[in-house]
Structure 1
Amino acid sequence: MLEASLLFCFLLPLLFLLFKTFLTNSDAKSQPKSYPFIGNYLSLYTNHHRLTQWTSDAIHNSPNFAFFLRRPFGQTRLFTGNPAVVQHILKTKFSTYQKGDIFRSTLFDLLGDGIFNVDGEEWKFQRQLSSHEFNTKSLRHFVEHVVDDEVNKRLIPILTTATANDTVLDLQDILQRFALDNICRIAFGYDPAYLTPSLPQAKFAVAFEDAVRISSERFRMITPLLWKFKRFFNIGSEKRLKEAVSEIRQFTMKILNEKKQELAIQPVDLLSRFLNSGHLDENLITDIVISFILAGRDTTSAALTWFFWLLYKNPAIESEVVKEIKEKSDSPIYDEVKDMVYTHASLYESMRLYPPVPVDSKQANADDVLPDGTIVKKGMMVSYHPYAMGRMESIWGENWMEFRPDRWLEKDETSEKKKFRARDPYIYPVFQAGPRICLGKDMAFLQMKRVVAGVLRQFKVVPAVDDGGEPVFVAALTSKMKGGFPVKIKKRNDD
């Protein structure tokens, strides 16, 4: 069976060549073509470099904003952008739609039993214990001591040097380093000092990047037999994944061992809570650390990368953000970032167009019928699509393609100012919704607004190359700009 499957996979590119003329001439507005046995493989092959955009287009071209992706060997996955369906799977039938075996097994080598890869009681325990880290007192400490310190002592000096020397920086890399330092300091009481003037190529950071990329590529393979075959024989990308995960676990074990020695002195952070809970299994604690590094490093840095690009492309909006920053400059740090309403709306709008997690998936543990009448069979993957939903004219209107923070604002009846107006989370599921809604949402916004204020108060961020086009959006477990975001930092001379 394995040999036949591998032979079939080698023959598929030849089948693609036979259908190439048909694919080139097919109607771009039609649904992906499915064929016996091979399913949608030909369309997948053609669009492998833009799967997020391709699945988004397929959703938009469907009357009920959903389509079935059929892979070879009978694997079927439903993609949806229907808000009623999103609410159904994330809230109404929460117990029916879980992470499931497919998601769990695919990411287990990296995430293990961490919070993003478990269901049921284990998930509830980790979430309940983690929630204590996101109260107002913790958030204030995070912004005033951790983030502000990282901004003033590391980020700003690096940008100042780049301005003086007229050098090019990869802002995506800088922001990832910034976020990694922050999440390690606040959650684990450990400072990796990754954002320093030398911009060190730490083994852990390189390994983490490789592990996330390879793990996400498993989902795109025509059959899981391929990556399982490579893992069994320890070859190719799976060999690198094994090496990368080993390096990551060495790093996390170092954090864990240092924290155990400090427990009697300062048991105040997230890692301390888990160690004190009685869950002292080192593998589980390591899985938890890795999951929180993934969440803290990749999502906020992705959101900020696209935000700075959108501000450059929309100078009038950048001016409004800078105006708000200057108006709040005399406020205490926590109050400053908390009250940056226009910037808050701008970040929401940026993530509407470029969500850090463009697609998320659940697995049905029972047969079900969705609100739009779609029949879901037990074991089927159901994926909701924030990227597609952020581009729906039916939700956002004819100007959906425009970057307009005002769509998130309304007049405050008690004052002349505008206030932020949240949308239904099932229309805007960028932070998930329902019981698994993102715990770190408020922390992420405070961090992002502090970075925006710190940077734009002094500098302008200018792409090193502006060809008038849009950076290439690529998605692993989180979204990124392909090739990074090379920029020059200019001194702000605004009045």
Structure 2
Amino acid sequence: MLQLIEGLLLFLLFILTFFYLVIIKSKSSGVEPKSYPLIGSFLDIYAHRYQLNQWFAEILSKSPTGTIVLRRPLGVNQTIVTTNPANVQHILKTQFSVYTKGDFFTTTLRDFLGTGIFNADGSNWKFQRQISSHEFNTKSLRKFVETVVETELIDRLIPILSEAAANNSVLDLQDILQRFAFDNICKIAFGFDPAYLSPSLPKEEFATAFEDALRISSERFTAPYQAIWKLKKVFNTRSEKRLKQAISTIREFAQNIVRAKKQQLHENSSLENTDLLSRILNSGHSDDEFVIDMVISFIVAGRDTTSAALTWYFWLISCNSHVEKALLEEIREISSASVYDEVKDMVYTHASLCESMRLYPPVPSDAKEATCDDILPDGTVVKKGMRVAYHPYSMGRMEKLWGKDWAEFKPERWLKKDDLIEGKWNFVAKDPYTYPVFQAGPRICLGKEMAFLQMKGVVAGVLRRFRVVPAVMEEGFQPVFISYMTSKMKDGFPVRIEDRG
């Protein structure tokens, strides 16, 4: 029965899409998404389903207000998408209590993220944020860089790159960086070393399951009718069956981490709360499901965001030799016995990372749900229950925000020459509502400083010794930006490593 219903819906969508592509699209100006009775803006969304971020950037750049409205099938779940900084500030700060995660978001991701911090509102979110904040104080950040990042760099990442350079072999740098970040977050947050970046580069069942869960959970958001994935879940078939299997593997992995930590705390009750997991368990929250949800959320944050940022960063560096030269000059000038002291003062490197994430943000979009009627600063009317999304990927490509040279990879746009010290640069941050790569307002990313320290440690450690060369360097080649909650480089990032000698 389910297959019959799904087949009929897909056939109808095929006919409508054919009609759109052959007849309507030829007459469309491409400035605004077209909307039709019953199906809303579905045809435009479906036609651009493989490049939604790029499509949003194109149409939002043509909007006078930097805002568009997408109408979903049957008139439900209308979504406002904006690149207007005033709107972003309104959503994330001024009217923070009005714009929450909402039922649509939390229901769609509940199977994967449960009630973890990225899928929580209200008191649950406040508690998780409060207990997580201890992970990001100065003492913890120094420990993270000096005992986790440095060890992972010296003992694992550098040897793997050295071997690849010696053998002239091709590595998938995206995979390597995900492994690096995964080991790091597990060590600092859970006191557990998965050794995923060991020399054999093991194919872990958990990693495969994690990728499947990210992809399928994200695809739920773009389903033409939410009833489709919900029916597949009820009947445990197709993608929802694979999602259930993936989540089972992920939760078993997280549960084993929690059990091991409980046993460790039981055997040594005086053990210091040196990691997030210990603090959660010692705070009285012994409910395994709640703790597992937090573990999974932290893995999503620690594994995927920094690795995504670094993947695109090394691509941009490989295409801009003048930036690489400036980076090397800074890296060679700054030398300290403490890795923490070294990387925190890398101003040009910091600017280049910000510039890279402007063009390729790890989280390209984020949506909230209105709990009451409202009006955005640009005059857009918001009705209760509507979703309002801000789009960092598009915002980084707006000429009105970044100037005519917005397409250039230009770290200097974040720098200002010091008036007192010749040759010295000072970093000039952009306001977080023009550059909401780390969110802003009460939900601003707690791990922002930790992410920068980790990324700068990797950049310094790698570029000091190696040159990263894309394996595919044909003229005009451009990797494809895709996103499943966090951004990816489609088909990975194959590179060759050259020793600088």
The two structures have a TM-score, normalised by structure 2, of 0.96
Q: How does 1:48-447 map to 2 (within 5 A)?
A: 48-75=49-76, 76-263=78-265, 264=269, 265-416=271-422, 417-447=424-454
For residue 200 of structure 1, report the CA deviation from its aligned partner.
Answer: 0.3
For residue 19 of structure 1, report the CA deviation from its aligned partner.
Answer: 2.6
For residue 26 of structure 1, report the CA deviation from its aligned partner.
Answer: 3.3
Amino acid in structure 1 at the alignment position of 2:51: R
In 1, Cα distance between equivalents of 2:255 and 2:227? 31
For residue 24 of structure 1, report the CA deviation from its aligned partner.
Answer: 4.4
For residue 199 of structure 1, report the CA deviation from its aligned partner.
Answer: 0.5
For residue 29 of structure 1, report the CA deviation from its aligned partner.
Answer: 4.0
Distance 1:186 1:418, change over 3 A: same
**CA offsets 1:51-81 (integer angstroms, 9 cap, x no match):** 1111221211211111111121112111000
**CA offsets 1:130-174 (integer angstroms, 9 cap, x no match):** 101100010000001100000000000000000011100000000
Amino acid in structure 1 at the alignment position of 2:44: S
Are residues 1:14 and 2:22 paired?
no
In 1, Cα distance between equivalents of 2:228 and 2:468? 43
Amino acid in structure 1 at the alignment position of 2:485: L
**Would you say the 8 A contact 2:358–2:396 is kept in 1?**
yes
**CA offsets 1:357-399 (integer angstroms, 9 cap, x no match):** 0000000011111111111111111110000100011110000
Question: What secondary structure is seen at the aligned counterpart in 2 of 1:363?
Answer: strand
> Please, which moves more after superposition, 415-424 or 471-480?
415-424
For residue 22 of structure 1, report the CA deviation from its aligned partner.
Answer: 2.8
Question: What secondary structure is seen at the aligned counterpart in 1 of 2:416?
Answer: strand
Question: What secondary structure is seen at the aligned counterpart in 1 of 2:199?
Answer: coil
In 1, Cα distance between equivalents of 2:472 and 2:332? 29
In 2, Cα distance between equivalents of 1:156 and 1:458? 9
Amino acid in structure 2 at the alignment position of 1:378: K
In 2, Cα distance between equivalents of 1:43 and 1:56? 14
> Match for residue 46 of structure 1?
47
**CA offsets 1:259-318 (integer angstroms, 9 cap, x no match):** 112222343110111111111111000000000000000000000000000000000000
Same amino acid, percent of matched pairs: 62
Amino acid in structure 1 at the alignment position of 2:137: N
> Match for residue 38 of structure 2?
37
In 1, Cα distance between equivalents of 2:6 and 2:378? 35
In 2, Cα distance between equivalents of 1:266 and 1:200? 32
**Would you say the 8 A contact 2:417–2:425 is kept in 1?**
yes
Runs of at least 5 residues in structure 1 that lack an aligned partner in the other structure: none
Amino acid in structure 2 at the alignment position of 1:435: P
> Please, which moves more after superposition, 324-333 or 231-240?
324-333
**CA offsets 1:155-197 (integer angstroms, 9 cap, x no match):** 0000000001110000000000000000000000000000011
Amino acid in structure 1 at the alignment position of 2:68: F
**Would you say the 8 A contact 1:6–1:226 is kept in 2?**
no
**Would you say the 8 A contact 2:482–2:488 is kept in 1?**
yes
In 1, Cα distance between equivalents of 2:227 and 2:434? 36
For residue 41 of structure 1, report the CA deviation from its aligned partner.
Answer: 1.6
> Please, which moves more after superposition, 33-42 or 302-311?
33-42
Are residues 1:460 and 2:462 paired?
no
Amino acid in structure 1 at the alignment position of 2:302: G
**Would you say the 8 A contact 1:39–1:72 is kept in 2?**
yes
In 1, Cα distance between equivalents of 2:256 and 2:20? 53
> Match for residue 492 of structure 1?
500
Question: What secondary structure is seen at the aligned counterpart in 1 of 2:50?
Answer: helix
**CA offsets 1:453-495 (integer angstroms, 9 cap, x no match):** 11000000000011232100001100000000000000114xx
For residue 330 of structure 1, report the CA deviation from its aligned partner.
Answer: 3.7
> Please, which moves more after superposition, 73-82 or 291-300?
73-82
Runs of at least 5 residues in structure 2 that lack an aligned partner in the other structure: none
> Please, which moves more after superposition, 467-476 or 176-185?
467-476
Question: What secondary structure is seen at the aligned counterpart in 1 of 2:426?
Answer: strand
What is the number of residues matched between the two proteins?
Answer: 493
In 1, Cα distance between equivalents of 2:428 and 2:27? 42
For residue 15 of structure 1, report the CA deviation from its aligned partner.
Answer: 1.6
> Match for residue 480 of structure 1?
488
In 2, Cα distance between equivalents of 1:160 and 1:221? 44
Question: What secondary structure is seen at the aligned counterpart in 2 of 1:49?
Answer: coil
Amino acid in structure 2 at the alignment position of 1:451: V
**Would you say the 8 A contact 1:147–1:450 is kept in 2?**
yes
**CA offsets 1:313-353 (integer angstroms, 9 cap, x no match):** 00000011111111113452111100000000000000000
Amino acid in structure 2 at the alignment position of 1:178: F
**Would you say the 8 A contact 2:157–2:197 is kept in 1?**
yes
Amino acid in structure 1 at the alignment position of 2:212: D
| Runs of 4+ residues over 3 Å off in structure 1 | 1-9, 26-29
**CA offsets 1:219-252 (integer angstroms, 9 cap, x no match):** 0100110110111000011101101111011111
Amino acid in structure 1 at the alignment position of 2:481: F
**Would you say the 8 A contact 1:100–1:362 is kept in 2?**
yes
**CA offsets 1:82-134 (integer angstroms, 9 cap, x no match):** 00000000000000000000000000000001000010111001101110110
In 2, Cα distance between equivalents of 1:476 and 1:10? 26
In 2, Cα distance between equivalents of 1:363 and 1:41? 20
In 1, Cα distance between equivalents of 2:121 and 2:169? 47
> Please, which moves more after superposition, 410-419 or 393-402?
410-419
**Would you say the 8 A contact 2:37–2:74 is kept in 1?**
no
Question: What secondary structure is seen at the aligned counterpart in 1 of 2:332?
Answer: helix
In 1, Cα distance between equivalents of 2:374 and 2:7? 34
> Please, which moves more after superposition, 261-270 or 347-356?
261-270
